[in-house]
Copies of this chain bind each other. A is one copy, B any other.
Amino acid sequence: MTPTVRFDADRARRIGLPEAVFCAGKTAEQIAIAAEAGRTAHGRCLLTRLDTAMLAALPSGLRTALDHDPLSRTAVLGDWPAVRDEGSVAVVTGGTADLPVAGEVARTLRFAGCAATVFADVGVAGLWRLLEIQERLAAFPVVILVAGMEGALFTVAGGLLPGLLIAVPTAVGYGIATGGHTALNAALASCAPGLLVTNIDNGYGAACAALRALALPADAGRESPAPQT
């Protein structure tokens, strides 16, 4: 058999985003190979969907070298880059249960040198929570909205804010909302103009899209202390 892991080291050159290691469905050995390939190519590597059970199964050398965040299930191998952008991206969540996905957004952005501001628990059933930060949010060129259940936050924010809006539906909810499809469909069907949407729980993708919009080129190697989430 040909090698089972083929790291796309050329990706950063083509599209400005280095390949990250999506850990779900991979064996510990495959994760280790891919992460090392990423560090070799770019000086650092981001791992996503790395839960604590798989973290424990990784080779101890790798495990201890990772800066792992259990809530967002992300980890970084190698040093964090310096912050090159601040104030461009806001991340807004509908509820506290959306924070793991918001964490994936923020850590992915931070891995590219972009420090985002997170506004948590801004569900529109208590509209004042959004209105009191409306002016601050309107100043961000990119606002990433993270919400589950019925996703009404997407539309209300879409009618109030001028920036690029990225809706990340989450699998938060029960009954008809199980799995996140109601929030996803509400984001897609929104009557607010110009709302864009990612797959359910795809915080990584939303961050990458923000980087594309900001045209922040991949940055290999400048060091920085770990971010405080």
Contacts of A179 in B (CB 8 A): 175, 178
Contact indicator B194/A196 (Cβ below 8 Å): no
- With A and B bound together, what is the CA distance between A221 and B187 in angstroms? 32
A35 to chain B, nearest CB (A): 13
Contacts of A121 in B (CB 8 A): 3-6
Contact indicator B189/A176 (Cβ below 8 Å): yes
Contacts of A181 in B (CB 8 A): 176, 185
Stretch of A58-66, A77-85, A154-162 with 4 or more beta carbons under 8 angstroms from chain B: A154-162
Contacts of A202 in B (CB 8 A): 174-175, 188
Contact indicator B191/A149 (Cβ below 8 Å): yes
Interface size, chain A (Cβ < 8 Å): 101
Q: Is A43 an interface residue (CB 8 A)?
A: no
B-contacting residues, A151-201, CB 8 Å: 151-152, 154-156, 158-166, 169, 171-201
**Protomer copies:** 8
Contacts of A196 in B (CB 8 A): 166, 196-198, 209
Q: Is A89 an interface residue (CB 8 A)?
A: no
Q: Which residue of B lies closest to A215 (CB)?
A: B141
Contact indicator A175/B186 (Cβ below 8 Å): no
- With A and B bound together, what is the CA distance between A25 and B166 in angstroms? 23
Q: Is A26 an interface residue (CB 8 A)?
A: yes
Q: Is A113 an interface residue (CB 8 A)?
A: no
Contacts of A30 in B (CB 8 A): 96
A residues lining the B interface (CB < 8 Å): 1-6, 8, 10-11, 14-17, 19-20, 24-27, 30, 34, 49, 94-97, 99, 117-129, 141, 149-152, 154-156, 158-166, 169, 171-202, 204-205, 207-213, 215, 229
